[in-house]
Amino acid sequence: MKRLLLLLGALLLFAKLAAAADPRYTVVKVDLRTERLALFLRDDAGEPFKRFDRLDAWLKARHRQLSFAVNAGMYHEDFSPVGLLVRDGHEEAPLNLSSGEGNFFLKPNGVFLVSDAGPRVVESSEYPALAALATGVRLATQSGPLLLRHGVVHPAFIPHSDSRKIRNGVGVIGHTALFVISNQPVNFYEFALYFRDVLHCRDALYLDGTVSALHSNALGRSDFVRELGPMLGIASP
């Protein structure tokens, strides 16, 4: 009986690993207890980095190296963020609760943040109260729409929508941020279900579609799709 239970446990673990290794998606897990995530936008002269290789070159001149990065939310033509941007504890762009056209304004949208308590994804209108109560909000980026809110898929998502793109987003579990980019075009509903049913996130935020890009030394990958605005990344040492 014990042997049977061990076998069943091994099969269940294999099934979970196989599900998580869905070839449609690439997942990078960042444990905020051991890794320091940062937001990057402009160099010392105020020029946007726009590309991972330019950010990496800037870091290398300072004896650091870019080990991981993704695009970090939506931006205007001048590469400035559409919504909230907090870097190193300083608010550089305000929270945007206005209405408008496009994915950013598909309410509810949300904020990905890192504080002393760890990473969180919250609905945008909840952020001011949270920021007032939380200690040490170190970084925050606003985007939209929310993929999941308390385990519920965004109400505007259509299960069989033919709007398919390469998409990326971020979910949270405890002290871990899970960054996901699709390897093939997917719709919003499918993307949200992957966060909920495979990665078991309750809250997840869409970062973007058309510009989705990933840099990972561990994966030997550095995408260039088009020039970027804000980027989330890890620089070592």
Domain contains 19: no
Domain contains 18: no
pLDDT in tens, the chain (237 residues): 444 333 334 333 333 333 456 899 999 999 999 999 999 999 999 999 999 999 999 999 999 999 999 999 899 999 999 999 999 999 999 999 999 999 999 999 999 999 989 999 999 999 998 887 766 899 999 999 999 999 999 999 999 999 999 999 999 999 999 999 999 999 999 999 999 999 999 999 999 999 999 999 999 999 999 999 999 999 988
pLDDT of the residue at 64? 97
The answer to whether residues 163 and 187 touch, using CB atoms and an 8 Å cutoff, is yes
What range defines the domain where residue 169 resides?
24-236
State the total domains in the chain: 1
pLDDT of the residue at 9? 40
Domain contains 158: yes
Three-state DSSP state, 15 = helix
Domain contains 3: no
Contacts 24+ apart (CB under 8 A), 90-98: 92/41, 95/124, 95/127, 95/128, 95/142, 96/124, 96/142, 97/124, 97/125
Domain contains 16: no
pLDDT of the residue at 43? 96
pLDDT of the residue at 21? 65
How many Å apart are CA 101 and CA 128, to the nearest integer? Answer: 23
Domain contains 37: yes
pLDDT of the residue at 155? 97
pLDDT of the residue at 235? 96
